[in-house]
Amino acid sequence: MCGIVGYVGNKNAQDFLISGLKRLEYRGYDSAGIVTLSENGEATLLRAKGKIVNLEEKLLENRREDKIGIGHTRWATHGEPSEVNAHPHQAGKIYLVHNGIIENYKELRRHISGHDFKSQTDTEVLVALINSFYKDGEYPLANAVVQALKLVKGTYGIAVVSAENPEEIVVARSGSPLVIGIGTDETLLASDASALVGHTKRAIYLNDGEVAVIRKDSVEIKTLNAEPVSLRVEEIETNLSAIQKGGYDHFLLKEIMEQPESLAETLRGRINAEDGTVRLGGPGLSAAELRKIKHLVIVGCGTAYHAGLLAAYYIEQFTPEITIETVIASEYRYRNAYIPEDSVALIVSQSGETADTLACLRSIKEKGIRTIGIVNAIGSTIAREVDGGTYVHVGPEISVASTKAFTSQMIAMVMFGLTIAQAKGVPAMMLKNYVEEIVALPEAIRETLAEATEPVKEIVSNYVDYDHAIYLGRDTAYPAAMEGALKLKEVSYIDANAYAFGELKHGPLALVDDRFFEMALLPKGELYEKAVSNVQEVLARNGHIIAITNVEDFDLEVESVLRISSKIELFAPVLMNLVMQLFAYYVTIGKGYNVDQPRNLAKSVTVE
Ligand code: AGP
């Protein structure tokens, strides 16, 4: 998820572009750049790796009084963070910034001649393609853009300028948001309205399939088929923080609700339902190397650890002759654990900066074991030090409590397990259900969030005043219960702990009394009846049970039932986790606590 800004007007373009990029840095960045044009078309292109402050330093020696320009913060998808991969990209007199993924960029690249490619990005292919239509003189810039976009498959939000015409910016979107700000003798552009706050209250939200030509005193919008589009000017909310939350009250709810899209980004280009295959390029392991793997060590902390625990349950279901251990990084780094040579270590971290996980990574590498990162933050320390890896691409996770990262990390590890199974010759028929459910999961997540929100809100008032909770599950529902308990614990401060249902009789059952409520995960499956027996044991002690279940005819006499109607069965615990995320959020709201910044915690634990 990148950030785009643009300016054309009577003020200094560089000033708006930099301030706008800073407003968008919550969208994440690993590099940034701007280009501005003087009245006679002289271009000043500045790009820098890392934080926007690095770009500002370059500005010190390159101040211009230019009145038009575009800028970009990059959340890398194709090509690692670097100055050469930073936007804007150039072809001839044309400069372009892009948010999204051009899926057929390799095919398009074959259409282009006479362009000296400098970067590894899909974006440079797009600007070269536009230039190939433009330089023939056949098309003004907007038409060249349209001709090129008609060949593109994928998602884009783009802003394009030409040094031959330093009065206009061409803007287009399909899948990546763009908003046009209408000022006095100036027109502004941004990926979201937060960059426009304080400059204008009037905005036009571009729709998919629309192309706009913006000048300092005019905006003209057409569809890709040249049909004119009427201008829909709306009022911008002035609360900056609220806008960055996309209209949600808190980042936590925003990040819970964006999981259909964030998981889709994780899957994009990596899994094929038609032929049932998974392709992960990042780990960099050949089929022969994948076949040799006999042991997996999965390393993480907190939610990342839970993602590994759950992934391990799945991987061992379909990958033959492989042992898996999931370990807490802060413990494992001090153990003298033997790791067999035919092992691979999965290093799981949203931030890619967690000190204990990083220390584990380094000690495992010293033992000569191949390390694969399952990381979100592009260019983070862990991402740079592993031997290979799979970015989960969920966009920045701002709320301290991790939600969308868990879902994507867990599925990314299952996909890694599927690549091992494929390499080991496991028949596609055996993996088909897993692949089909993973492909269907983003939509199932959307359905579950929609159907669970109101029922969760209806019951939370019954549980807000509890100080203790027990979360229970069997098999794949057990690691999910652990993650659910952590979520509740870390935002509501309710002392929630998870136990395997089968462990109840070995001690935890003694806890059951009116001080506790119980969250019971009851997915369909061969262990359902066993779990029901365990629920009966709790009911017999007057437990206050909330059941989360996808069993249509569920009729146990429990206090609350949260139903999941999705047909997803293998990954039902992933959907149950969404319900527990919502539960933790609404209980905490009910308590009036700061749900995005819980006491005592930090988003990234970079100290030991
Ligand atoms: C999760 O909600 C917590 N905020 C915390 O446990 C987190 O998962 C843990 O600190 C690991 O962080 P990482 O994924 O960035 O390494």
- Residue 1 is predicted with a pLDDT of 65
Q: Which residues line ligand 1 (CB under 6 A)?
A: 301-304, 349-351, 354, 357, 400-402, 490, 604-605
Answer whether residue 138 shows pLDDT above 60. Answer: no
Among the residue ranges 151-155, 183-187, 431-435, 508-512, the one predicted with the least confidence is 151-155
To which H or E segment does residue 390 belong?
strand 388-391
Ligand 1 binding pocket mutation candidate from 351, 380, 392, 398 (most atoms within 8 A of CB): 351
pLDDT at 137 over 60: no
The H or E element containing residue 355 is helix 355-366
Whether residue 214 contacts residue 180, with contact meaning beta carbons closer than 8 Å, is answered with yes
Rounded mean pLDDT, 99-122: 89
State the distance from the centre of ligand 1 to the C-alpha of 543, rounded, in angstroms: 31
Q: Give the distance (Å) from ligand 1 centre to CA of residue 116.
A: 42
- pLDDT digit string, tens, across residues 387-410: 999 999 998 888 999 999 999 999
Query: Ligand 1 centre and the CA of 396: distance in Å?
Result: 13
pLDDT (0 to 100) of residue 242: 64
Q: Confirm if 34 and 19 have CB atoms less than 8 A apart.
A: no
Which of 256, 328, 354 for mutating ligand 1's site (highest number of atoms within 8 Å of CB)? Answer: 354
Residue type (1 letter), 86? A
**Average pLDDT of the chain?**
93
From atom 3 of ligand 1, which residue's Cα is the shortest distance away? 401
What span, in angstroms and rounded, lies between the C-alpha atoms of 139 and 130?
10
Q: List the alpha helices (DSSP H) in 424-476.
A: 428-459
Maximum distance among all Cα pairs of the chain, rounded to whole angstroms: 83
Q: How far is the CA of 596 from the centre of ligand 1 (A)?
A: 13
C-alpha 485/C-alpha 557 separation (Å) is 23
The answer, yes or no, to whether residue 196 has pLDDT greater than 90, is yes
User: Which of 252, 255, 298, 301 should be mutated for ligand 1, with most atoms under 8 A from CB?
Assistant: 301
Question: Average pLDDT, stretch 303-320?
Answer: 97
Mean pLDDT on 372-399: 89
Counting from 1 in the atom list of ligand 1, the atom nearest the Cα of 382 is 16
DSSP string over 529-570: HHHHHHHHHHHTTT--EEEEE--TT-----SEEEE------T
The 8-class DSSP code of residue 65 comes to -
Taking only Cα atoms into account, the Rg of the chain, rounded to an integer number of angstroms, comes to 26
Is the pLDDT score of 76 beyond 70?
A: no
* Confidence check: pLDDT of 70 > 80: yes
User: Could you tell me the pLDDT band of residue 78, with boundaries at 50, 70 and 90?
Assistant: low
Inter-residue contact 45 to 72 (CB < 8 Å):
no
Average pLDDT of span 562-573 = 97
Q: How confident is the model at residue 273 (pLDDT cuts 50, 70, 90)?
A: confident
**Would the pLDDT of 198 be above 60?**
yes
pLDDT over 70, % of the chain: 96
What confidence tier does 513 reach under pLDDT thresholds 50, 70, 90?
very high
Look at residue 450 and tell me whether its pLDDT is greater than 90. Answer: yes
Element (H, E) at 328: strand 323-328
**pLDDT at position 336 over 70:** yes
Segment 374-378 mean pLDDT = 88
255 DSSP assignment: H
Distance between CA atoms of residues 14 and 58, nearest Å: 12
- Whether the pLDDT of residue 111 is over 90: the answer is no
pLDDT at residue 602 tops 80? no
Q: Are 98 and 33 in contact (CB under 8 A)?
A: no
For residue 257, give the amino acid letter: M
Q: pLDDT digit string (tens) for 26-64?
A: 666 688 999 999 999 999 999 999 878 899 999 999 999
- Residues with a catalytic annotation lie at 2, 603
The amino acid at 318: F
Q: What is the mean pLDDT of residues 563-578?
A: 98
81 versus 146: the higher-pLDDT residue is 146
Residues paired with 299 in a beta bridge = 327, 347
Of 39-43, 122-126, 233-237, minimum mean pLDDT range: 233-237
Sequence-separated contacts (24+) of 103-106 with Cβ below 8 Å: 103/153, 103/154, 103/268, 103/269, 104/151, 104/152, 104/153, 104/154, 105/78, 105/154
Expressed in angstroms and rounded, the spacing between residue 302 Cα and the centre of ligand 1 is 5
